[in-house]
Amino acid sequence: MTDQSETVGIIANPVSGRDIRRVAARGGVSSAEDKRNRIARAVIGAVAAGVTHVVAMKEPFGIASGALADLPVDADLEILDIGARVDPMDTERAALTMRERGIRVIITLGGDGTNRTIARAWPEAVLVPMSTGTNNVFPSLVEPTVAGAAAGLVAMSLVDLYAVAPRSKVVHLKLSDGSEDIALIDAATLANDFVGNRLPVDATNLRQLLVTTAMPDTIGVSSVAGLHTTCRADDDAAILVTCGAGGALTTAPIAPGLYREVPVKSVQKVDLEEEVELLGPSTLAFDGDREHQVSADGPAVAVVRRDGPRVIDVARTLEAGASQGVFITK
């Protein structure tokens, strides 16, 4: 029987890249056929790196099953039926099932939200996140063929996991009612907003923005921080931005094809484990999703820790594999 630790899992969100933000901004639409093609290329890459067993989540759109059908590779291709209902719980159930089976390397096809769901359920996961979404920072626009190869090298233990896949930073939030949640890239407080709103953020409503990654070449609210300072994924710090009337106007790409002026009052570095109060009354947005309300008398407390999933650095992994001659037949 195939060693499950040498198996690559695939979790694809069938609705990623197809939400209302593509109407409000200018984000591209990722079709089911595009996702099938990406998955097929990733599987081919994983098999080229030596993987002989691939497990992909089944969902009603037939994305994974279509990608794996008649794929000409020398490997056992399995479709995992987790009773998908096309909701975020599908991702969680698939991740937990793969964890129970001992599958340690997962290729994800989705956005910040898809990976956040996995991180919440399985913080020890090892991920190769491939982006299809609107304003994603956690997953990257990597070529699936080589992304699959990197996943395969790690799954087959041909490279040092700790050298090529550092743990990601996570914003841990505790609400006044005692409930907890996480964000991978940004946690923002928004005035005059509401839970469930899927439209791009109104820049004038931003009040506080705590980001684990701040880069000037990203899309989304984290770009506001990135246009003032840099905080990379491997930096042991975070950035807190305070916004509001009277702040210096920062022209930021808060969605694809959508630049807006954000009034920034202050930008400060935050150390890991340092507590930050996110004030109300406001709506809390985690990685772009509005999910909680903060009252005026009960702030949320946020702490950034490096205890999230390991994210495989594709370039570093392939460099390590190539230096050992993994892809050369003698």
pLDDT tens across 117-143, in order? 999 999 999 999 998 755 578 888 889
Q: How far apart are CA 120 and CA 181, in angstroms?
A: 8
Torsions phi, psi for 118 (to 5 deg): -65, -45
Same domain for 227 and 212: yes
DSSP string, 198-253: -SPP-GGGEEEEEES-B-TT--STHHHHHTT--B-TTSSEEEEEEEEEEEEEEEEE
pLDDT at 3: 60
Q: Is the pTM of the predicted complex or chain greater than 0.85?
A: yes
Same domain for 289 and 225: yes
Q: What mean pLDDT, rounded, does the chain reach?
A: 91
Q: Which of 99-113, 151-165, 300-314 has the lowest mean pLDDT?
A: 99-113
Closest CA to 9 of 54, 73, 52, 42: 54
Buried b / exposed e across 132-163, counting CB within 10 Å, b at 16+?
bbbbbbbbeebebbbbbbbbbbbbbeebebee
Give the pLDDT band (50/70/90) at residue 110. confident
Same domain for 194 and 110: no
| Domains held by the chain: number | 2
We report the CATH number of the domain holding residue 91 as 3.40.50.10330
Same domain for 108 and 16: yes
Same domain for 238 and 201: yes
DSSP string, 115-134: HHHHHHH-TT-EEEEE--SS
pLDDT tens across 59-106, in order? 888 898 999 998 999 999 999 999 988 887 899 999 999 999 999 999
Look at residue 253 and tell me if it is in a domain: yes
Give the pLDDT band (50/70/90) at residue 1. very low
pLDDT at 19: 53
Contact of 277 with 156, CB cutoff 8 Å:
no
Q: How far apart are CA 78 and CA 187, in angstroms?
A: 37
Single-letter code of the amino acid located at 167: R
Give the pLDDT band (50/70/90) at residue 24. low
pLDDT at 255: 86
Same domain for 183 and 126: no
Q: How far apart are CA 150 and CA 312, in angstroms?
A: 7
pLDDT at 256: 85
pLDDT at 23: 47
Q: Which domain holds residue 56?
A: 4-168+309-323
Closest CA to 316 of 46, 128, 179: 128
pLDDT at 330: 74
Look at residue 329 and tell me if it is in a domain: no
Look at residue 330 and tell me if it is in a domain: no
Same domain for 102 and 23: yes
pLDDT tens across 178-228, in order? 999 999 999 999 999 999 888 888 999 999 999 999 999 998 999 999 999
Contact of 119 with 309, CB cutoff 8 Å:
yes
Look at residue 261 and tell me if it is in a domain: yes
